[in-house]
Amino acid sequence: MRLLLIEDDDDIALVVNQTLATDGHQLDRAADGLDGLWMAREGQYGLIVLDLLLPGMNGFKVCQTLRDEGRHTPILMLTAKVGEYDETDGFDCGADDYLRKPFSPAVLRARVAALLRRPPVVRQSEHLNRGGVQLDPASRACEVDGRPVELTGRQAQLLEALLRAEDQPVSRLELTSLVWGADFEGDPNVVDVYLGYLRNKIGKDKVQNVRGLGYRIRT
């Protein structure tokens, strides 16, 4: 399969290329964010391996721009940075997985294979409503008590999972699987971080914590 690598470090690019070539993948490479964004728009790629710290345009901005344009190509983000908020920011801009440098070639192969196994994203317009909160998952258009609210991709996915559950509480583990994927291996506190983001936008009283069971949208 043809993949796109957006990475400015020649040594890392060589390792990624050699590693993924063992599984029969062909890689095109861009060495800066602007070139990578152009190639992602123009080419047909099964997956994008995207560095975070890039010249021209950083990986966060490249990823966010592609998602805002409605492009759902799986994105594996690479970064040498560490910390909870770096990782949550990566997911918030639309990355599908996150791999810290230095990484094992075997782990890189496994993460790429897992992303390529996921079914393609197909979204149709619909409206979910509960407790004064309305969401169209396809467009991320959200209103709270008639007031428009702007959500990021991960915030909208989290709200969608809560709305679809209707009156049933959704556990932290279920939310992690639904929003970040069953094979997510990042910080286990990511759900709490994003629930905080979501509460700040739609109202702290809208998300109810049902002790011992999980979370739901309050009616």
Q: Residue 123 pLDDT more than 60?
A: no
Structure confidence at residue 3 as a pLDDT band (50, 70, 90): very high
* pLDDT tens, position by position, 144-191: 999 999 988 788 889 999 999 988 999 988 998 888 776 677 777 888
Q: Residue 85 pLDDT more than 50?
A: no
> Measured between alpha carbons, how far is 46 from 27 in angstroms, rounded to an integer?
10
Residue 108 φ/ψ, nearest 5 degrees: -60, -45
- pLDDT at position 187 is 75
- pLDDT at position 82 is 54
Structure confidence at residue 18 as a pLDDT band (50, 70, 90): very high
Average pLDDT over residues 14-21: 95
| Lowest model confidence (mean pLDDT) among 38-47, 74-83, 132-141 | 74-83
Q: What is the chain's mean pLDDT, rounded? A: 87
* Better-scored residue on pLDDT, 80 or 42: 42
Nearest to 169 by CA among 161, 181, 178: 161
Q: Residue 86 pLDDT more than 60?
A: no
Structure confidence at residue 32 as a pLDDT band (50, 70, 90): very high
Model-wide pTM > 0.85: no
> Measured between alpha carbons, how far is 121 from 31 in angstroms, rounded to an integer?
28
Helical residues (DSSP H) of 165-189, grouped into ranges: 172-180
Walk me through the domains of the chain, giving residue ranges and CATH numbers.
2-117 (3.40.50.2300), 128-217 (1.10.10.10)
Structure confidence at residue 21 as a pLDDT band (50, 70, 90): very high
